């Protein structure tokens, strides 16, 4: 396993360099509209090198810029600002435009909640995109539900993925994964950017994952800071949030009882997991460590890891926890998000393994702190869930 | 009934004039953020007169405009363009900004699919907003589902409202309303702008409507024109679309069988209805008239009406159709959308009543061709459904 990861990392880095070396070459002219465009919109486009081409009509503007791929826009004779990026990593990227000092979205794309605001998004097709592609397999449902939280003093919207044929298997009961977004995102992150439903539908159809329920909730509680924090900014601050106080209480005292009362769950610790990305991974780490009577499966994506010291401080950890999964993008290991929470993830993983704890460390090739890392992490983590 | 409508119309017009007469008065300074703003966003704001105040940071822009409420924006010392609208009608309004010739959305608000693109939206609180307010009542689910259409040669996303306790009443079966959006909108229109789930949850909790299932689908089929047509533009063209050929076939040959196979429906003509707004009303009119073996309840919101000539051409209409509901906004009656499809709605309604057909004509006070008209129309129509 370790050798395979090291090898894939090495290949990744090699394959990344040719793309970066092409910066002075003219782009390959096989551009197609991005899969995330609004219906009928021709721009932005993506080519086989992973370059993006933008086109934005602003005839009287003095300055238009796009904050992705070192793209230079220039105004053409039709008043449209056009430019082509350097090759981008595969997967989903947020971006926005600046027009004469105003931050705006590109009307060509759908909107995605990130950076504590709706942003534009572009999808660079990945070589392994098949695992999150819509296929002719049985599909689960993505259910929008609502519950009232006394702790937050508000109606809260949640999304609940129920696996294929949930409605028809009226006697079946399922394990539940509570799956959290990152800082500046909300409960729409996994259903939309994350493609959680499609990933699970495909895994279940291939017999690689057991059918289970996924619950997606915002970790924002009231006006507090858990929602806030622009991407990139304030990450150090996020690491210092006590998630067990606000969102942790909503989750364990209100949301879990609501889900167990309203969905056909296996309502015990052995069939309940929690995972999250970035800030959601940090929340997962804190909340599971403090509630090992409630969670047996732990997934931390780009949000830290669990050390042997953590294990020693959490009574019964070795007996109660079935899986610890830690995922990162190859381009983010060693940065402050990677190293800042709970120590070096590779060192921690090895230590937990040595201590006899079922631990998996996954590195997504050629991706940074972005959604393809997290889609792949879910894809690797889901087959490990509720196998007993 | 008729007197009540006439009286309410009269009151509506009176109450509208004082608002319009205040145009030279300074606004009442009780502005609050619109309910549709992105989390934490302070602008746009709305006051008790129904005026909107916009604020948009664009320090280097030469010209910024907003296409609603005859609003003049001026740049302040902080580089923000600020302005206050004339009083707006109650309810939901789409809008966008123009900045140095570029059409963009206001980063303060959520995005709503209208005008064949995502637009900004603002909500002017209505005096009767209680009927679409989130309350402490049992809530149904809004389910995102997918099915493959051979006719459209594509996976199609649908939203399915299942009423409260649908999952718990495993033996219960329900009638189904197929509910369509307008031109330039899509399957998100009724779940988001329309608040269809909240309206039904409240009606069911009050015992005013029977629990039923609502299916919301895009009427766009392939690259054809049924989706297209900007709001305001091309409406004459929409009226000439043959909906029975494209979307009508998808609906009757694929979607209805899918729903009846996957949800606990009462799968007969007596428990199946169709309704829609504007273009969706025109589609409803055509598709139900051509498929009276499949639909017993017909709702047309701001999209025409059914004449006695239509009835005479549709064999068995009087026996098969339980309800014809026609709704309009008071400010749109007589315009080309109102009068253009199937004749004068009031004249048609009276003629159908005279012929012994259960027909209801509803006029939404003080609203035009906008979502409050259609929320109210659904609120009036739902209690008439599946009463046998």
Q: DSSP letters along B51-71, please?
A: -EEEEEE-TT-S-EEESSTTP
Cα separations (Å) of B334 from A201, A270, B182, B341, B361?
Answer: 50, 64, 19, 11, 14
- The whole-number pLDDT of residue B222 equals 67
| More confident site: A289 or A230 | A289
A228 close to B (CB below 8 A): yes
If asked whether residues A312 and A243 sit together in one domain, one would say yes
Model confidence pLDDT, tens digit, residues B104-145: 999 999 999 999 999 999 999 999 999 999 999 999 999 999
Which chain B residues are within 8 Å of A98, Cβ to Cβ? none
Query: How many CB pairs below 8 Å do chains A and B form together?
Result: 131
Per CB-CB distance under 8 Å, the chain A contacts of B118 are 38, 107, 110-111
Handedness of CA B371, B375, B380, B381 (dihedral sign): positive
Chain B contact set for A40 (CB, 8 A) = 116, 227-228
Is A316 an interface residue toward B (CB < 8 Å)? no
Clarify whether residues B96 and B150 are in a common domain: no
Determine contact: A262 vs chain B, CB below 8 A: yes
Average pLDDT, rounded, for chain A:
90
Give the pLDDT confidence score for residue B225 in this predicted structure: 38
Q: How confident is the model at residue A342 (pLDDT cuts 50, 70, 90)?
A: confident
**Residues in B touching A135 (Cβ below 8 Å):** none
Tokens of A172: 């079946």
Q: Which domain holds residue B51?
A: 20-88+91-124
Q: What is the mean pLDDT of chain B?
A: 90
Cα gap A118→A105, rounded to integer Å: 8
- Chain B hits for A186, Cβ within 8 Å: 39
Q: What is the CA radius of gyration of chain A?
A: 21
Task: Give me the pLDDT at residue A330, please.
Answer: 93
pTM, two decimal places: 0.91
Report the distance separating Cα A181 and Cα A218, nearest Å.
7
A28 Cα to chain B: minimum distance (Å): 27
Residue B240: pLDDT band (50, 70, 90) is: confident
As a whole number of Å, the end-to-end CA separation of chain B is 22
Q: What is the CATH number of the domain that holds B309?
A: 3.40.50.1820
CA distance B260 to B257: 5
Mark yes or no for CB contact A101/B61 under 8 Å: yes
pLDDT at B185: 97
Q: Does B45 touch chain A (CB under 8 A)?
A: no
Number of domains in chain A: 2
Query: Does residue A4 belong to any structural domain of this protein?
Result: no
344-363 in chain B: CB under 8 A from chain A: none
Q: Where are the alpha helices (DSSP H) in chain A?
A: 2-21, 196-205, 235-238, 247-249, 256-262, 279-290, 308-313, 317-320, 336-340, 345-354, 371-381
Confidence at residue A271, expressed as pLDDT on a 0 to 100 scale: 98
Shared domain for B136 and B170, answered yes or no, is yes
- Which one, of B132, B107, B113, lies nearest residue B200 by Cα? B132
pLDDT-based confidence at residue A169 (cuts at 50, 70, 90): confident
Nearest residue in A to B225, CA atom: A40
Q: Is A35 on the interface with B (CB under 8 A)?
A: no
Helix axes A196-205, A371-381, angle to 10 degrees: 30
**Model confidence at B20: pLDDT above 60:** no
Interface list for A 122-161 with B (CB within 8 A): 134, 136, 139, 141-146, 148, 155
What is the predicted pLDDT for the residue at A183? Answer: 95
Interface test with B, best of A43, A78, A104 (most B CBs within 10 A): A104
> From CA B89, how far away is CA B68, in angstroms rounded?
11
Is B149 found in the same domain as B199?
yes
User: Does the pLDDT of residue A5 top 70, yes or no?
Assistant: no
- Let me know if residue A330 belongs to a domain: yes
B116, B147: one domain: no
Q: How confident is residue B22, by pLDDT bands cut at 50, 70 and 90? A: low
Do A253 and A198 share a structural domain?
Answer: yes
A53 φ, ψ to 5°?
Answer: -115, 130
Paired tokens of A62: 């003095």
Q: Which pLDDT score is estimated for B24? A: 81
Closest residue in chain A to residue B112, using alpha carbons only? A111
Residue A256 lies in a domain: yes
Given a cut of 70, is residue B229 above it in pLDDT? Answer: no
* Record: contact A104-B100, CB cut-off 8 A: no
Are B110 and A118 a contacting pair at CB < 8 A? yes
Q: Does residue A9 surpass a pLDDT of 90?
A: no
| CA neighbor of B200 nearest in space, from B156, B166, B171 | B166
In the block, tokens 């991706």 appear at: A367
**pLDDT of B117:** 96
Q: Is B205 on the interface with A (CB under 8 A)?
A: no
Q: Which of B195, B176, B24 is nearest to B112 (CA)?
A: B195
Distance from CA of B269 to the nearest CA of A (A): 24
Who has greater pLDDT, B344 or A175? A175
Predicted confidence (pLDDT) at residue A13 exceeds the cutoff of 50 = no
Rounded percentage of chain B residues whose pLDDT exceeds 70:
88
∠ at Cα A47 (A42, A50), nearest 5°?
120
Q: Does B56 touch chain A (CB under 8 A)?
A: yes
Q: How many CB atoms lie within 10 A of CB A28?
A: 11
In a domain, B1, yes or no: no
Average pLDDT over residues B251-265: 98
Residue at token pair 């015990």: A268
Residue carrying structure tokens 């460590």:
A289
CA–CA distance from A20 to each of A24, A335, B38, B104 (Å)? 9, 21, 37, 32
What is the pLDDT confidence band of residue B303, given thresholds at 50, 70 and 90?
Answer: very high
Biggest CA–CA distance in chain A, Å, is: 69
Residue B1 scores a pLDDT above 50: no
3-state secondary structure at position A7: helix
Q: Is B260 on the interface with A (CB under 8 A)?
A: no
Q: Does residue A163 sit in the same domain as residue A109?
A: no
Distance from CA of A326 to the nearest CA of B (A): 30
Q: Does B39 share its domain with B107? A: yes
Of residues A58, A155, A264, nearest to B100 (C-beta): A58
Q: Is B340 contained in some domain?
A: yes
| Tokens representing residue A281 in the block | 């991974």
Largest CA distance in chain B: 69
Q: Work out whether strand A97-99 and strand A64-66 pair parallel, antiparallel, or are unpaired.
A: antiparallel
Q: For the residues B151-169, what does the mean pLDDT come to? A: 95
Residue B237 and residue B169 share a domain: yes
Alpha helices (H) along B67-174: none
Q: What is the pLDDT of residue A289?
A: 97
CA distance B50 to A144: 31
Task: Say yes or no: B202 and B113 in one domain.
Answer: no
Q: Pick from B101, B124, B147: which residue ends a domain?
A: B124
Q: What whole-number percentage of chain B has pLDDT above 90?
A: 82
CB contacts under 8 A, A 235-254 vs B, are: none
Chain A residues inside the 8 Å CB shell of B227: 39-40
% of chain A surpassing 70 pLDDT: 88
- Contact assignment for A118 to B38 by CB distance below 8 Å: yes
Which residue is listed with tokens 């409507």? B209
**Distance between CA atoms of residues B248 and B107, nearest Å:** 37
Of B59, B118, B145, the CB nearest to A111: B118
A100, A136, A220: residue with CB nearest B60: A100
Nearest residue on chain B to A133, alpha-carbon basis: B155
Kindly write down the DSSP assignment for every residue of A340-362, as one continuous string. Answer: HTTS-HHHHHHHHHHTT--EEEE
| Identity of the residue in A99, A116, A136 whose CB atom sits nearest the CB atom of B40 | A116
Token couple for A259 = 């889900």
Are the beta carbons of A49 and A27 closer than 8 angstroms?
yes
Each residue's pLDDT tens digit, B55-90: 999 999 999 999 999 999 999 999 999 999 999 999
Q: Does residue A173 sit at the B interface (CB-CB below 8 Å)?
A: no
Dihedral pair phi/psi, residue A183, rounded to 5°: -60, 135
Quick one: pLDDT band at residue B337, thresholds 50, 70, 90?
Answer: low
Q: A314 in contact with B at a CB cutoff of 8 Å?
A: no
**Quick count: other Cβ atoms within 10 Å of Cβ B113?**
23
Tell me which residue has tokens 């792949």: A376
Helix (H, G, I), strand (E, B) or coil at B288: helix
Q: In this structure, is residue A5 part of a structural domain?
A: no
Alpha carbons B8 and B120: distance in angstroms, whole number = 31
pLDDT digits (tens, 9 = 90+) for A14-46: 333 334 445 689 999 999 999 999 999 999 999
Per-residue model confidence as pLDDT tens digits over A239-251: 678 999 999 999 9
**What CATH code is carried by the domain that includes residue A112?**
2.60.40.10
Is A57 in CB contact (< 8 Å) with chain B?
yes
Which among A38, A167, A168 is the nearest to B117, CB-wise? Answer: A38
Tell me whether A60 touches chain B (CB under 8 Å): yes
Same domain, A144 and A28: no
What is the mean pLDDT of the segment spanning A78-83?
A: 96
> CA-nearest residue of chain A to B116?
A39
| Statement: residue B17 has pLDDT above 70 | no
Given this model, what pLDDT does residue A21 score? Answer: 41
Q: Is the pLDDT of residue B351 over 50?
A: yes
* pLDDT band for position B342 (cuts 50, 70, 90): confident
Determine the average pLDDT of the residues in B179-193. 97
What integer pLDDT is reported at residue B388 of this predicted model?
A: 76
With an 8 Å Cβ cutoff, are A139 and B145 in contact? yes
Whether B39 contacts chain A with CB within 8 A: yes
Taking CB atoms and an 8 Å limit, are B100 and A148 in contact across chains? no
Tell which residue, B81, B117, B82, B157, has the closest CA to residue A192. Answer: B157
Task: Measure CA B81 to chain center.
Answer: 31
For residue A100, give the nearest of B99, B107, B146 by CB distance.
Answer: B99
Nearest CA in chain A to B110: A118
**pLDDT confidence of B228, banded at 50, 70, 90?**
very low
Mark whether B275 and B291 lie in a shared domain. Answer: yes
Q: Which helix (H) or strand (E) holds B157?
A: strand B154-162
Instruction: List own/partner pairs for B306-315 with CB under 8 A and 24 or more apart.
Output: B306/B342, B306/B348, B306/B352, B307/B342, B307/B343, B307/B348, B307/B351, B308/B348, B308/B351, B308/B352, B308/B355, B310/B285, B310/B342, B311/B352, B311/B355, B311/B357, B313/B289, B314/B289, B314/B290
A8 is a domain residue: no
Strands laid side by side in the B97-99 sheet: B64-66, B97-99, B102-104
pLDDT level of residue A223 (50, 70, 90 thresholds): very low
Q: How far apart are CA A372 and CA A91, in angstroms?
A: 5
Contacts of B341 (CB under 8 A, 6+ apart): B239, B281, B282, B285, B303, B304, B305
Chain B residues in contact with A57 (beta carbon < 8 A): 101-103
Q: Are strands A359-364 and A323-329 parallel, antiparallel or unpaired?
A: parallel
How large is the average pLDDT for residues B158-183? 96
Does the CB of A55 have a partner CB in chain B at under 8 Å?
no
Tell if the CB–CB gap between B100 and A103 is shorter than 8 Å.
no
> Does residue A246 form part of some domain?
yes
CA distance B169 to B140: 12
Choose from B100, B113, B184 for mutation: most chain A CBs within 10 A. B100
**Which of helix, strand or coil describes residue A27?**
coil
Look-up: residue for tokens 């910066």? A23
CB B294 within 8 A of CB B269: yes
- The confidence score (pLDDT) of residue A150 equals 95
């Amino acid at each position: 396993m370790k050798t395979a990861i090291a090898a894939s990392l090495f290949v990744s880095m090699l394959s990344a360099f040719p793309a970066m070396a092409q910066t002075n070459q003219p782009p390959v002219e096989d551009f197609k509209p991005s899969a995330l465009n609004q219906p009928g919109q021709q721009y932005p486009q993506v080519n086989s090198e992973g370059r993006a081409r933008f086109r934005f009509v602003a005839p009287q503007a003095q300055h238009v810029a796009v904050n992705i791929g070192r793209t230079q826009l220039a105004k053409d004779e039709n008043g449209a600002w056009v430019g082509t990026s350097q090759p981008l990593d595969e997967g989903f990227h947020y971006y926005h435009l600046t027009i004469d000092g105003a931050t705006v979205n590109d009307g060509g794309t759908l909107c995605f909640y990130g950076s504590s605001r709706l942003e534009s998004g572009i999808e660079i097709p990945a070589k392994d995109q098949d695992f999150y592609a819509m296929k002719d397999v049985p599909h689960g449902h993505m259910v929008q539900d609502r519950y009232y939280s006394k702790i937050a003093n508000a109606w809260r919207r949640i999304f609940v993925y129920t696996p294929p044929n949930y409605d028809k298997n009226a006697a079946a009961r399922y394990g539940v994964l509570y799956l959290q977004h990152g800082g500046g995102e909300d409960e729409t992150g996994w259903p939309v950017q994350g493609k959680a439903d499609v990933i699970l539908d495909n895994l279940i159809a291939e017999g690689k994952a057991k059918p289970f329920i996924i619950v997606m909730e915002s970790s924002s509680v009231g006006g507090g800071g858990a929602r806030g924090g622009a991407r990139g900014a304030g990450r150090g601050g996020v690491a210092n949030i006590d998630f067990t106080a606000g969102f942790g209480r909503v989750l364990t005292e209100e949301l879990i009882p609501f889900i167990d009362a309203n969905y056909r769950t296996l309502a015990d610790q052995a069939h309940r997991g929690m995972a999250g990305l970035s800030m959601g991974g940090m929340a997962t780490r804190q909340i599971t460590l403090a509630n090992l009577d409630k969670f047996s499966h732990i997934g931390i994506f780009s949000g830290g890891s669990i050390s042997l010291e953590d294990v020693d401080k959490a009574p019964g950890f070795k007996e109660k926890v079935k899986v610890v999964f830690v995922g990162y993008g190859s381009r983010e290991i060693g940065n402050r998000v990677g190293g800042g929470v709970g120590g070096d993830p590779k060192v921690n993983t090895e230590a937990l393994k040595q201590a006899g704890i079922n631990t998996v460390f996954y590195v997504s090739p050629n991706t940074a702190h972005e959604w393809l890392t997290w889609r792949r992490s879910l894809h690797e983590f889901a087959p490990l869930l509720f196998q007993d």
